[in-house]
Homo-oligomer: A and B are copies of this chain.
Amino acid sequence: MNLQSLNTPAALIDVARMNRNITRMQERLNALGVAFRPHVKTSKCKPVVQAQIAAGARGITVSTLKEAEQFFAAGVRDIVYAVGIAPGKLSQALALRRAGCDLKLLADSLAGVEEIVAFGRAHGEAFEIWIEIDVDGHRSGIAPEDPALLPVARALVDGGMRLGGVIAHAGSSYEYDTPDALMRIAEQERAGTVRAAERLRAAGIACDVVSIGSTPTALAAEHLEGVTEVRAGVYVFFDLVMHNVGVNATNEIALSVLTTVIGHQPDKGWAIVDAGWMAMSRDRGTQRQKRDFGYGLVCAEDGNELGDYRMVTANQEHGVIARDDSPDADIAKKFPIGTRLRILPNHACATGAQYPEYVALGPDGEISTWPRFSGW
List A residues at the B interface (Cβ < 8 Å).
7-10, 41, 63-64, 83-89, 92, 108-109, 111-112, 115, 134, 137, 139-140, 171, 260-265, 268, 272, 274, 277-279, 281-284, 315-318, 320, 332, 336-338, 347, 349-350, 353-356, 374-376
Contacts and interface: CB of A to CB of B under 8 A. Distances in A.
A192 B290 CA distance: 41
Main secondary structure of the interface of A (DSSP, over half): loop
Given A63-B317, A85-B262, A115-B337, 14 more contacts: A7-B92, A41-B316, A83-B262, A83-B274, A83-B317, A83-B318, A109-B337, A140-B265, A140-B272, A277-B283, A279-B376, A281-B282, A282-B284, A282-B347
Nearest to A62: B317
- Smallest CB-CB A-B distances: 5 pairs: A282-B282, A86-B260, A84-B262, A63-B317, A282-B283
A171 B283 CA distance: 20
Best-buried of A84, A134, A350 by chain B (most CB within 10 Å): A84
B316 A7 contact: no
Given A7-B376, A264-B109, A283-B282, A272 B84 contact: yes
B41 A317 contact: yes
Nearest to A85: B262
A264 B140 CA distance: 7
Contacts of A277: 283, 350
Given A262-B112, A316-B63, A349-B316, A274 B86 contact: yes
A338 B88 contact: yes
A356 B375 contact: yes
A140 B318 contact: yes
A139 B318 contact: yes
Contact of A356 (B63, B261, B374): B374
Given A64-B317, A83-B274, A83-B317, A332 B89 contact: no
B140 A263 contact: yes
Among A262, A332, A347, residue most surrounded by chain B Cβ atoms (within 10 Å): A262
Contact of A338 (B87, B268, B376): B87
A367 B63 CA distance: 27
Contacts of A347: 282
Contacts of A41: 316-317
Contacts of A338: 86-88, 115
A336 B111 contact: yes
Nearest to A107: B263
A278 B332 contact: no
Contacts of A92: 7
Contacts of A268: 137
Contacts of A318: 83, 139-140
Contacts of A84: 262-263, 272, 274
A315 to B, nearest CB: 6
8 contacts: A8-B86, A9-B376, A86-B261, A87-B260, A112-B337, A139-B320, A171-B315, A281-B281
A272 B139 contact: yes
Nearest to A356: B375
Contacts of A375: 355-356
Contact of A88 (B7, B87, B263, B354): B7
A134 B264 CA distance: 12
Contacts of A320: 139
B332 A111 contact: yes
A41 B315 CA distance: 12
Contacts of A111: 332, 336-337
A199 to B, nearest CB: 19
